Amino acid sequence: MRAPIVVAVLAGLIVADDESGLKALTARPEIVAATEWGSKPQPIPDSRKQTPKFVTIHHAGVVWTAKVAPEVFVRNMQSWGQRDKGWPDLPYHFLIAPDGRIFEGRPLEYEPESNTKYPLAGNVGVEMMGSFETQRPDPRQIASCVKLTAWLCDRFAIDPATVRGHKDAASGQTTCPGKDFDRYLKDGQFVRWVRETLAGEAPAIDPGPPLPGGPTETIPSTSPAS
Ligand SMILES: [Zn+2]
């Protein structure tokens, strides 16, 4: 006879005792804090507070040439948004470098910004540096996106099946997150990687062969020091 599933809340950890054994909450991946990369955020009004309900995935849409370090790219995006767009902080909550490092952006309790029109409240914006219309993501970048998304799904009780690309949220307005990442959202591979991570596995990230007519070159990984 199958043992009943016992769920206990112990010191902030949810522990489920079932046939697969003990399972703790998905670990928070290592994240470069905003204070570490030199963030200079401006205050965001309370009217823009949100409760995270969706994970929306982006690419930068700018070809990554590794001419600047990722932390410089993040600082430049923040100051550009403040100067040219009137955005008090980065438009995204997390930004992932080609080497897999995750940078903290806007605080999660505030809705993101966008150049497109869709309901922003409840979205967690996860951006990967590069343009996946013309370059392929680095497997370490995909792996960090999977780990981060799994942690967000666990922490905010988000169904992995609802994770989407920007183009799915803002239909007809953008190709973001680019065809060579969108493929993993459309064929279900990204959700499988996330579910495996949530199950305590460490899925091997195999980007697979290039898409017919798609990009063939992987994004350059290492950036020079600033
Ligand atoms: Zn986008």
CATH number at residue 137: 3.40.80.10
Q: Which residues surround ligand 1, an ion (CB under 5 A)?
A: 58, 166, 176
- Nearest Cα neighbor of 128 from 153, 165, 162, 86 is 165
What's residue 200's pLDDT? 94
Number of C-beta neighbours around residue 115 at 10 A: 12
Assigned domain for 178 exists? yes
- Nearest Cα neighbor of 116 from 85, 88, 95, 74 is 85
Assigned domain for 224 exists? no
- Ligand 1 centroid distance, CA of 11 (Å): 37
Assigned domain for 144 exists? yes
- Which domain range does residue 76 map to? 26-198
Give 188's contacts (C-beta < 8 A, 6+ positions apart).
none
pLDDT tens track for 151-204:
999 999 999 999 999 999 999 999 999 999 999 999 999 999 999 999 999 999
Assigned domain for 46 exists? yes
What is the reported pTM? 0.88
- Ligand 1 centroid distance, CA of 110 (Å): 17
Count of CA atoms in the C-beta half-sphere (13 A) of 117: 1
What's residue 25's pLDDT? 80
Of residues 11 and 187, which shows the higher confidence score?
187
Domain count, the chain: 1
- Ligand 1 centroid distance, CA of 6 (Å): 41
- Ligand 1 centroid distance, CA of 172 (Å): 12
pLDDT tens track for 67-96:
999 999 999 999 999 999 999 999 999 999
pLDDT tens track for 85-127:
999 999 999 999 999 999 999 999 999 999 999 999 999 999 9
- Ligand 1 centroid distance, CA of 119 (Å): 14
- Ligand 1 centroid distance, CA of 169 (Å): 9
